[in-house]
Amino acid sequence: MTLDDLDRQILQALQRDAGLSTTRLAKRLGLSQPATWRRIRRLQDAGVIAGRRLLLDAEKVGFGVTVFLGVKLATKGRVSLEDFERAIGAIPEVQTVDHILGLYDYRLRVVARDLADFERVLRRRIMTLPGVGDVEANVLLSEERRPGPI
């Protein structure tokens, strides 16, 4: 899908605040409310707007530690990737799972209350899964999300 300037402005605005009403967005863009709504609908139908995400302050709700985990599977071929993905995805503390190519097979984003809690999740839930080999943990210090090329 190709975007024009108005589409770009809509995406930028909704990336910052998806709760923005169509009325306020329309006013900001100098468009009519139905025209704005049609454009949002078109971006949704084309799959460009894939959904909404609630932004929570993890620390304030008690998750003080986020760790990015690189996981290498030890016994490829013997372990089904589907089984591993299903099992790892079912762990509530595992927020994201990406299958990657390179140094590791999977990148996981794991949240925990503190480092002791993370160690518990890692040892009891993740390391016990069949096929898990080398694991590299990097503790998140800061994070920012950029608007991207729009």
Task: For residue 39, count CB atoms less than 10 angstroms from its CB and return exposed for 0-12, middle for 13-18, buried for 19 or more.
Answer: buried
Task: For residue 34, count CB atoms less than 10 angstroms from its CB and return exposed for 0-12, middle for 13-18, buried for 19 or more.
Answer: exposed
Q: Which stretch binds another protein (CB under 8 A): 29-37, 56-64, 72-80, 124-132?
A: 56-64
> Of residues 5, 78, 116, 146, which one binds another protein by CB under 8 A?
146
Bridge partners, residue 76, by sequence: 79
Closest C-alpha among 67, 69, 70 to residue 103: 70
Least distance (Å) between residue 39 CB and another protein: 13
Q: Which stretch binds another protein (CB under 8 A): 23-31, 71-79, 107-115, 126-134?
A: 107-115
User: Which residues are near another protein by CB under 8 A?
Assistant: 1, 3, 11, 14-19, 46-64, 68, 85, 88-89, 92-104, 106-107, 109, 111, 136-146, 148-150
